[in-house]
Amino acid sequence: MPTLLRIDSSTRVEGSHTRALGDQAQAAWLAANPAGTVITRNTPDGSIPYLSQDTIAGFFTPPDDQTPEMKEATALSDQLIAELHSADLLLITAPLYNFGVPAALKAWIDLVTRMGHTFSYEDGAFKGLTQTKRAIVVCGYGSGDYLQGQPKEAANFLEPYLRFLLGFIGIEDVQVVSVQSTTADADTVTRNMDQARADLALMI
């Protein structure tokens, strides 16, 4: 059964531009995959903790040698990675927070970016192991000029980071939809959202 894994990260549940675009992508994907399953992770809801000492120790301890504490501390990572491997399409919605990814999304990334599961290191080289091969990333920016070739490109640690990270874990096809200036006047926001919706419509 086709599976969409949706990872939201705006702390705003109401009035979020990135979530609104995520809703459009999800609806289009379900229209194209009527029998499909959608798995949703709302990362800011407190369900994704930061890495702990036992989580990291568990990551680097063979399963048979893990203590009960390590097993418990890595269980959520196991589950999130299983969700990732099961997905035909990964959809991430991500606002720019202080020039980077929201901490809640980083917490999810820290639990799924795991040696032996989503990447390997052999003979001096990293290799991505994620079975999902396609991602759509929706990026939202309060102001403008963050995109490639624009004046604030160097301050954008959101899109370049997510492109690199997803490539690192083996997701080869990453498409990005951006909406900038979401805190501008209403006409600008409407125009920019319309453009982002049109860009997204071409992807699914």
Ligand X SMILES: Cc1cc2nc3c(=O)[nH]c(=O)nc-3n(C[C@H](O)[C@H](O)[C@H](O)COP(=O)(O)O)c2cc1C
Binding mask 164-183 toward ligand X (x if CB under 6 A, else -) reads: ------------------xx
In order, the DSSP letters of 68-115 are HHHHHHHHHHHHHHHHHHH-SEEEEEEE-BTTB--HHHHHHHHHH--B
Which one of the spans 17-25, 43-51, 126-134, 188-196 is the region binding ligand X (CB under 6 A)?
17-25
What DSSP character marks residue 125? E
**Residue 130 in contact with ligand X, rule: CB under 6 A:** no
Q: Could you tell me how many residues of this chain bind ligand X (CB under 6 A)?
A: 17
Which one of the spans 36-44, 51-59, 96-104, 111-119 is the region binding ligand X (CB under 6 A)?
96-104
**Residue 17 in contact with ligand X, rule: CB under 6 A:** yes
One of 25, 80, 89, 96 touching ligand X (CB under 6 A): 96
Q: Which residues contact 90 (CB under 8 A, 6 or more apart)?
A: 5, 7, 84, 132, 134, 135, 136, 166, 171
**Residue 12 in contact with ligand X, rule: CB under 6 A:** yes
8 to each of 12, 13, 155, 188, 196, how far by Cα in Å? Answer: 10, 9, 22, 24, 17
**Residue 19 in contact with ligand X, rule: CB under 6 A:** yes
Q: Residue numbers of the site for ligand X (CB under 6 A)?
A: 10, 12, 16-19, 95-99, 140-143, 182-183
